[in-house]
Amino acid sequence: MCGIFGYIGPNNVVETTIKGLKKLEYRGYDSSGIAGIHDGKMLYNKQVGKISKMEAEVEQEGLELDIAIAQTRWATHGSPSRENAHPHFNNGQTLALVHNGIIENHSALRDMLLKKGVVFHSETDTEVIVHLISDLYRGDLLKAVMAALPLLKGSYALALIHRDYPDQIIGVSHESPLAVGIGIGEMFLASDLHAFTGSAREVIFLDSGEVAVVKKDGYEIYDSMMSPVSKESRELIGKAEEVTRGKFEHYTLKEIFEQPQALRSALSARCIDEYGTAKFDSLDIEMSELLGVKRIIILACGTSYYAGFIGEYMLEEIARIPTQVEISSEYRYKNPIIPNGTLVIAISQSGETADTLAAFRELKAKGATVIAICNVHDSSIAREADSCLYLRAGIEIGVCSTKAFTSQVAVISLFTLLLARMRHLSRDDGQVFLDQLKKVPDHVDAVLQQADAIQALAKKYAQCENFFYLGRRYMYPGAMEGALKLKEIAYINANGYPAGEMKHGPIALINQDCPTVALTGDQYTYEKILSNLMEVKARQGPVIAIAEEGSEGIEEIADDIIWIPSTRDEFSVIPATVACQLFAYYVALERGTEIDQPRNLAKSVTVE
């Protein structure tokens, strides 16, 4: 989703800014733009499509800037077009502004500004902000910004520059992240730490409501009352980590293949074999509080929601704690009852998903303890939670989540074990659980070795326009995740369903052109899903099974089978979804869709 980058310093400003902006490409966007000041003039370039298009044009026209702000836009208000791309300008083109988030009262503000004679050039909600600040400007930019902010309703991270202040960028954060990057004699602003890779050495996160005035050799931070705030900077972790695709054609494929390693690192130093339990160094919650947990609410969106769904099954079954997984965007508008002993787990790869952040803030305000499961260090959710259990999967660039999902399931498994061992689970049973969990990376390896066979299968089915993905128990969220992969990167209509529900309606859609991918690895319900698949076969529906080695009876039903190693029901979903990821990837490759940055999608969804 939208990304902001700003630069002021001695290096080539255009190059540095575009380089930083490119690091935000992975978030998903449909247009981009840069604006800056040079020799007292406000100059800019905006383009629809990839940043490289803008880069080529600014190179050709020889754009030079002394200070710059830039943005990647993921369209919300108004289609992707040059007019709607950021930065936006006031009528005199003295002020330029980029924005992440949504201004909810933009219509009222637009009407008010129109009455004052302001001319609008875009359909965006953002444009009202720049005109509003301009309208309030009486020679003191900071004062004008401060006066405008209380009039804005919604979420926003802003970066802005003014011709009268050619040596400063103002940054604002309000329920949308923005960080100040500190270098030597140079300063940066970005909405995502990844943009600082290889540049800034230290970082300061703005808290919601804070405003930063950034100059080449320093910065000042103010609260909403315009009082100066003193904040400590932090050293950037992994600042030198430059990520490349290596030998892989896409980041997505690379990340699929990184899963054995990512899983090992999620488990590393967290297993206590001797006692058959788990530990998390970052879990800063008293054991007595964990022992007192009577109910768990898991909040998440998208792929993380499916990982949470698996967590729901596991926590109830193994730790025997009533657990409910909730889609954050729905949950945030409920008025839930949070009795004492409620633990909230927020799962988010990016740690920035606006809905999950809002839902979890609400529960925190109601007094619940919140544990985050995140991949991105120092992300908003990770920082605001009482404790964060990091995935340690390494940065995930592909918009569709792969290695983060399987790592999420691994971390939830360990957390389940910890809670279960504090309750009734015996040491022996805990040891068996751990032993099996530690074999999962090898099981994933075994699936990856079948990549060629899965590619052949993908070619066979790539022309189908509708798919069902079926599973039962642990495989039900696995089926929904498998279907989501196919939707996201191959743009195919795929429905994930609990197999037992097919007869209540969806089976009407089955015919010879609608294949069913069946995740049959849940042994407890294995016989049941075989019957459900017989019903599909009876209606000429092709069946592709993802079955555990040694499963009997599936060969007679399925048209094609991807074999996965046999393991406990809780963990079988991991190799099964890896098979789904590969299948979706190769179908997408066959159909020629954009895989790493699929159309319309964003990696980090920072708006509602």
List of residues contacting ligand G6P (CB under 6 A): 301-304, 348-350, 353, 356, 399-401, 601, 603, 605
Whose Cβ is closer to ligand G6P: residue 44's or residue 74's?
Answer: 74
Whose Cβ is closer to ligand G6P: residue 157's or residue 187's?
Answer: 157
Whose Cβ is closer to ligand G6P: residue 302's or residue 498's?
Answer: 302
Shortest gap between Cβ of 356 and ligand G6P (angstroms)? 5
Instruction: Answer for the pair 169, 189: CB distance below 8 angstroms, yes or no.
Output: yes
Q: How far apart are the first and last CA of the chain?
A: 12
Whose Cβ is closer to ligand G6P: residue 381's or residue 554's?
Answer: 381
Shortest gap between Cβ of 315 and ligand G6P (angstroms)? 19
Beta bridge partners of 345: 298, 371
Strand 543-548, strand 516-519: pairing: parallel
Whose Cβ is closer to ligand G6P: residue 102's or residue 601's?
Answer: 601
Nearest partner of 290 among 345, 248, 336, judged by Cα: 345
Strand 342-348, strand 295-300: pairing: parallel
Cα separations in angstroms, 276 against 272, 315, 410, 418, 428: 6, 16, 15, 9, 7
Whose Cβ is closer to ligand G6P: residue 161's or residue 605's?
Answer: 605
Shortest gap between Cβ of 608 and ligand G6P (angstroms)? 13
Whose Cβ is closer to ligand G6P: residue 17's or residue 379's?
Answer: 379
Whose Cβ is closer to ligand G6P: residue 304's or residue 581's?
Answer: 304
Query: Which residue reads 């409920």 in tokens?
Result: 334
Packing angle of the helix pair 259-267, 403-421 (nearest 10 deg): 30
Shortest gap between Cβ of 352 and ligand G6P (angstroms)? 7
Shortest gap between Cβ of 294 and ligand G6P (angstroms)? 26
Gap between the Cα atoms of 234 and 472, Å rounded = 46
Shortest gap between Cβ of 24 and ligand G6P (angstroms)? 14
Whose Cβ is closer to ligand G6P: residue 399's or residue 518's?
Answer: 399
Instruction: Answer for the pair 81, 75: CB distance below 8 angstroms, yes or no.
Output: no
Beta bridge partners of 211: 172, 222
Shortest gap between Cβ of 186 and ligand G6P (angstroms)? 30
Gap between the Cα atoms of 417 and 434, Å rounded = 8
Number of C-alpha atoms within 13 angstroms, CB side, residue 66?
15
- The DSSP letter of residue 319 is S
Strand 67-73, strand 3-8: pairing: antiparallel
Which class for 506: exposed (0-12), middle (13-18), buried (19 or more C-beta within 10 A)? middle
Sheet holding 466-471, edge to edge: 493-498, 466-471, 516-519, 543-548, 560-564
Query: Cβ contacts of residue 553 below 8 Å, gap of 6+?
Result: 530
Q: Rounded to the nearest 5°, which phi and psi values hold at 191?
A: -90, -5
Nearest partner of 214 among 147, 97, 222, judged by Cα: 222
Beta bridge partners of 69: 6, 35
Packing angle of the helix pair 302-317, 403-421 (nearest 10 deg): 20
Number of C-alpha atoms within 13 angstroms, CB side, residue 477?
25
Instruction: Answer for the pair 239, 190: CB distance below 8 angstroms, yes or no.
Output: no
Shortest gap between Cβ of 602 and ligand G6P (angstroms)? 6
**The tokens of 437 are what?**
């969990």
Gap between the Cα atoms of 584 and 473, Å rounded = 22
Catalytic residue numbers, as ranges: 2, 603
Shortest gap between Cβ of 1 and ligand G6P (angstroms)? 8
Gap between the Cα atoms of 126 and 96, Å rounded = 11
Q: Which residue sits closest to ligand G6P, CB atoms considered?
A: 302
Nearest partner of 127 among 118, 117, 136, judged by Cα: 118
Whose Cβ is closer to ligand G6P: residue 343's or residue 400's?
Answer: 400
Shortest gap between Cβ of 151 and ligand G6P (angstroms)? 30
